[in-house]
């Protein structure tokens, strides 16, 4: 699987993002880099579902924003992949302030991926849908969706 064309921009974590991302996204990346990572919080799930975690991270990196900092891309991709293994909405599992902040992260670091979400589908659902279509992966829906109060909103007829 070939990864997206990304270049390395020097500087501390968040430096490259500061040119493209809003404050909320920069704050999230700083938190992910400074020990507040969802990878640590969901360590058990990551260990149990390693293939799935790696596939999600690779999918995101394959659709990375050209010119984005490689280290930041990997940090955000791994954080999102770990958050996808959680039980709540992705923005909640990432401990973000809102779904809008999550969109900002996707648009900043994975712009081609974000651009494909033209129907504003919930991000966890969208990640798993793309994962299924991308590599023949068999987990075609987010794993905890059936227990979610918003199930009908995400999995109802799309109009």
Helix (H, G, I), strand (E, B) or coil at 142: coil
Q: Minimal CA–CA distance to 57: which of 158, 131, 137, 143? A: 131
The predicted pLDDT at position 137 comes to 60
Integer Cα distance of 40 and 139 in angstroms:
23
Residue pointed to by tokens 């670091």 = 109
In this predicted model, what pLDDT tens digit does every residue of 22-36 receive, in sequence order?
Answer: 898 889 999 998 877
The predicted pLDDT at position 36 comes to 74
Q: Which two tokens stand for residue 93?
A: 């599992």
**Domain segments of the chain as ranges:** 17-155
The predicted pLDDT at position 9 comes to 35
In this predicted model, what pLDDT tens digit does every residue of 57-67 receive, in sequence order?
Answer: 999 999 999 99
Q: Minimal CA–CA distance to 81: which of 95, 63, 93? A: 93
Integer Cα distance of 84 and 106 in angstroms:
14
In this predicted model, what pLDDT tens digit does every residue of 127-152 receive, in sequence order?
Answer: 988 998 877 665 555 555 555 666 66
């Amino acid at each position: 699987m070939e990864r997206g064309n990304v270049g390395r921009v020097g500087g501390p974590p968040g430096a490259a993002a500061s040119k493209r991302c809003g404050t909320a996204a920069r704050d999230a990346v700083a938190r992910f880099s400074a020990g507040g990572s969802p990878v640590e919080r969901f360590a058990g799930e990551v260990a149990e579902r390693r293939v799935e975690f790696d596939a999600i991270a690779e999918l995101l990196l394959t659709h990375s924003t050209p010119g984005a900092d490689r280290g930041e891309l990997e940090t955000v991709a791994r954080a999102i992949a770990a958050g996808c293994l959680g039980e709540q909405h992705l923005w909640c599992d990432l401990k973000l302030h809102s779904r809008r902040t999550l969109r900002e992260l996707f648009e900043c670091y994975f712009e081609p991926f974000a651009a494909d979400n033209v129907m504003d589908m919930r991000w966890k659902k969208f990640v798993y849908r793309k994962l299924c279509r991308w590599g023949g992966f068999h987990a075609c829906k987010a794993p905890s969706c059936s227990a979610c109060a918003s199930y009908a909103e995400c999995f109802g007829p799309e109009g």
